[in-house]
Amino acid sequence: MTGVSLISVVDDDESLRESLEGLIKSLGHGVAVFSSAESFLSSEVLTKTDCLILDVRMPGMSGPELQRELISRRQDIPIIFITAHGDEDLIARVMADGAVDCLLKPFSEDSLLKAISQALAGYTERPQCQLPRNTP
């Protein structure tokens, strides 16, 4: 698989994992899917992953906890967070810790593809997560 980027997906939602796996394969990338942060950390693909698509809230270790663990292990993997929860403080923290992007579920295929392209290109500018705004 020389020259093929490996994208790992960590999400406890099986249907989302399957959907993302199919999409990523259709783009010509390698893909590995995991139902938990712990299973990703103990996998062989940890050091081979070129981009990580990571859910924020999962049973066991959360996405931000995995991000901090990767930082402490000096594993520099571009991370795209996905979340159904618009917790502004949490999103600001993961972005400050180096996330490429944070996509709110349900996100568009185009948004994900743009984030993956940025991650694989060695992003230089991090977009800010698009949070819904309360209008008076």
Cα–Cα distances (Å) from 128 to 1, 27, 72, 80, 122, in that order, read: 33, 25, 24, 12, 17
122: left (phi over 0), alpha (psi -120 to 50) or beta: left
- The CATH number corresponding to 12-120 among 3.40.50.920, 1.20.1540.10, 3.40.50.1100, 3.40.50.2300 equals 3.40.50.2300
Burial class of residue 41, CB neighbours in 10 A (0-12, 13-18, 19+): middle
Q: CB-based contacts of 128: which residues, under 8 Å, 6+ apart? A: 95
pLDDT in tens, the chain (136 residues): 457 899 999 999 999 999 999 999 999 999 999 999 999 999 999 999 999 999 999 999 999 999 999 999 999 999 999 998 878 898 899 999 999 999 999 999 999 999 999 999 985 444 444 444 443 4
Tell me which residue of 25, 21, 26, 22 sits closest to 10, measured CA to CA. Answer: 21
Query: Distance (Å, rounded) from C-alpha 111 to C-alpha 20?
Result: 13
Query: In this predicted structure, what is the pLDDT of residue 131?
Result: 45
Query: In this predicted structure, what is the pLDDT of residue 3?
Result: 76
